[in-house]
């Protein structure tokens, strides 16, 4: 396989599509660090940077942090040594406006969209169960767990069908225009996420190679 292309990578997909697993594989493949805007915000607040203090005012008020603050944090992150060949953006940008702002500070070379049918996502999430003693995640169909732990497995309150459908609707409303925007620029690669972890990962790897 050829070397991964230079530039930053954007990864998005619906909740439950397996982005976390595939993000880890992309980091291993490319050597690009994963960037979480949430993590950056929390770190900036703890470090009491100018941008962190600005963000804290909005966070304390329960308001969304403005895009210009997020972009400022991203610009600072891209100046670090490990980001010399770009980073992996997981879950950002979410809107066309954010993508346009991101263009000012980062070269995006590839956008990966992991696509899974809504009904499959609902089955994945609604069937999840957690062991409160270990934190391990199981699934009533795909990974039921041993008989002796069944009585203590619990379902998260937001892992119900109504909540999942609302999250999916919000995701599609935000992401459909963004996917088209990147597709028009020749950057979008759509990946069928309704397969094994290995098959999805191999497909992504092929799309990240020159």
The residues assigned a catalytic role are 19, 94, 128, 156, 167
Report the alpha-carbon distance of residue 23 to residue 128 in Å, rounded: 21
- The strand ranges marked E within the chain are 8-12, 34-35, 88-90, 108-115, 128-130, 137-139, 188-192
How far apart (Å, rounded) are the C-alpha atoms in residues 33 and 79? Answer: 13
Could you give the C-alpha distances from 201 to 22, 141, 187, in angstroms and in order? 6, 23, 18
| Contact indicator for 132, 150 with CB cutoff of 8 Å | no
Contact by Cβ (8 Å): 46, 38: no
What CA–CA distance (Å, rounded) separates 111 from 103? Answer: 13
């Amino acid at each position: 396989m050829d070397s991964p292309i230079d530039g930053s990578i954007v990864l998005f997909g619906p909740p439950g599509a397996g982005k976390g697993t595939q993000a880890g594989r992309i980091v291993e493949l490319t050597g690009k660090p994963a960037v979480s805007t949430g993590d950056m915000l929390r770190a900036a607040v703890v470090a009491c940077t100018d941008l962190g203090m600005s963000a804290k005012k909005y966070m304390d008020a329960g308001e969304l942090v403005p895009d210009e603050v997020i972009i400022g944090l991203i610009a600072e992150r891209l100046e670090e040594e490990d980001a010399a060949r770009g980073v992996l953006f997981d879950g950002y940008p979410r809107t066309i406006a954010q993508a346009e702002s991101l263009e000012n500070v980062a070269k995006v070379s590839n956008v990966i969209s992991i696509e899974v049918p809504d009904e499959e996502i609902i089955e994945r999430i609604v069937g999840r169960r957690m062991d409160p003693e270990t934190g391990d995640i199981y699934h009533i169909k795909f990974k039921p767990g041993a008989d002796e732990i069944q009585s203590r497995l619990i379902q998260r309150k937001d892992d119900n069908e109504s909540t999942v459908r609302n999250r999916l609707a919000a995701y599609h409303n935000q992401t459909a225009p963004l996917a088209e925007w990147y597709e028009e620029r020749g950057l979008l690669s759509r990946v069928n996420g309704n397969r094994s972890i290995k098959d999805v990962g191999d497909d992504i790897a092929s799309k990240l190679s020159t």
